[in-house]
Amino acid sequence: MFRRLSQSLFESSIKSAYTRRFKEKGAQAEGVFWSSRVSQTARFEQVLADMKAEFGSTSFYIADIGCGYGALFNYIQSKPAWRQIDYSGVDITPDMVSYCKREHNSHKHRFSLGRQPKHPVDFAVFVGTFNLCHTDDYELWEDYILHQLAFSWARVRYGLILNITSLETAKINNHIFYVNPEAFAKKLASRFGAVSASPTQFVPQDTTFIICKEKHERHTTKLRKAQR
Ligand SMILES: C[S@@+](CC[C@H](N)C(=O)[O-])C[C@H]1O[C@@H](n2cnc3c(N)ncnc32)[C@H](O)[C@@H]1O
């Protein structure tokens, strides 16, 4: 109870930080605390390639959790290789979501305020969603992340793709949460399902985790989806 209360306070503080930053820098990589567009794009390429490898094609449906100003949607639309992907974006920061709805007027139904997919999807994607943290309590933040992932886990058919800052020694430094890749992969596996982790290409101190549902579980979710 106390944990959830603390986590919701930290979350409010994070929302305010993203709102301020977005007002200051606008719709560009720096507006969501990325150092450059190059590193943002490298993260996108990694998560898209991992999903394609897992799914076997690019016609899947994703929810981008922590979509920011919709940069992944713009990226998918601009690349013929990814254009088949059916996209929806979710964010907890109201200014981000209103910007996305305004900017993508004819696609505004794709964006919503929240923390989990609005509808069942094949994959939920988290690109840097949990990097910024406003606490010094590592376990508290890790528990928050696992709790947030669980909301989405219930709504995905294939799995979750999570991209997060990492170091040999897990720590929080200067409001950034760094996982130790092996230890974090074990945590994810014990809580959810099979995990594979790989360093995010061209992005130092960053790891991409893919957590997949068992084949029979995918089948049951697919059936449930079909019966609706
Ligand atoms: C580092 S930014 C990345 C934005 C986007 N993924 C990109 O790469 O351009 C993180 C985003 O996640 C959002 N966010 C943070 N915690 C969240 C949560 N629990 N659920 C949904 N969105 C969250 C923030 O509001 C922010 O827009």
Whether ligand 1 lies within 6 angstroms of the CB of 91 is answered as yes
Task: Express each pLDDT in 37-81 by its tens digit.
Answer: 999 999 999 999 999 999 999 999 999 999 999 999 999 999 999
User: Strand ranges (DSSP E) for 60-142?
Assistant: 61-65, 86-91, 111-113, 121-127
Centroid of ligand 1 to alpha carbon of 213 (angstroms)? 24
**Closest C-alpha to ligand 1, atom 8:** 127
Global confidence as pTM = 0.94
Task: Express each pLDDT in 128-181 by its tens digit.
Answer: 999 999 999 999 999 999 999 999 999 999 999 999 999 999 999 999 999 999
Please answer whether residues 67 and 75 qualify as being in contact, where contact means their C-beta atoms are separated by less than 8 angstroms. no
Eight-state DSSP code of residue 192: S
pLDDT at 215: 67
Q: What is the CATH number of the domain that holds 211?
A: 3.40.50.150
Look at the block and give the residue holding tokens 């997060």. 164
Q: Cα–Cα distance between 145 and 138 in angstroms, integer? A: 11
Q: Which domain holds residue 195?
A: 2-227
Whether ligand 1 lies within 6 angstroms of the CB of 200 is answered as no
Look at the block and give the residue holding tokens 């990097």. 131
pLDDT at 205: 97
Whether ligand 1 lies within 6 angstroms of the CB of 127 is answered as yes
User: Strand, helix or coil at 157?
Assistant: strand
Whether ligand 1 lies within 6 angstroms of the CB of 62 is answered as no
The total of structural domains in the chain comes to 1
Q: Look at residues 91, 93, 149, 96 and name the one whose alpha carbon lies nearest to residue 124.
A: 149
Whether ligand 1 lies within 6 angstroms of the CB of 164 is answered as no
Centroid of ligand 1 to alpha carbon of 76 (angstroms)? 18
Q: Of the residues 11, 22, 91, 153, which should be mutated to test ligand 1's pocket, given the most ligand atoms within 8 Å of the CB?
A: 91
8-26: average pLDDT = 94
